[in-house]
Amino acid sequence: MRIAVILAEEENPRPGVNPISWLLLTSLDISSFESAITCVRWYSYRWLIERYHFVLKSGCGLEKLQLETGRRIEMALATYSIRPLAKVLSRSLYSNIFEDYQLLINN
């Protein structure tokens, strides 16, 4: 198996903030700068996905249901996913709008 290594570093971090520095290992074919950027973008979604799972498990108590069949788990996920998805997406949207606003103010 071939492994590609991608080093992604933030060039201009906000003052007082440590720059992002990710060392990513992937089995995907990274043959161009664009494919490396795509891989980094996918990795950046990790934080949204982790937050979604956290809200789903702790906020909605999905694990407490202790469902035993695949069908029941699917139905519960379909029902319980709405709240955490809305919460995570609204926070992400708010965060992006706030960062864009800060960029406008500072420039």
Where do the structural domains in the chain lie, given as residue ranges? Answer: 1-44, 45-107
CB of 29 within 8 A of CB of 4?
yes
- pLDDT tens, position by position, 9-65: 988 888 998 888 999 999 999 999 999 999 998 998 888 788 877 877 777 677 777
Query: Does the structure show a pLDDT above 80 at 103?
Result: no
The pLDDT, as a whole number, for residue 17 is 86
| Centroid of chain to Cα 43 | 7
pTM over 0.75: no
Measured CA to CA in angstroms, residue 2 lies from 17, 30, 32, 36, 37 at distances of 35, 10, 16, 15, 19
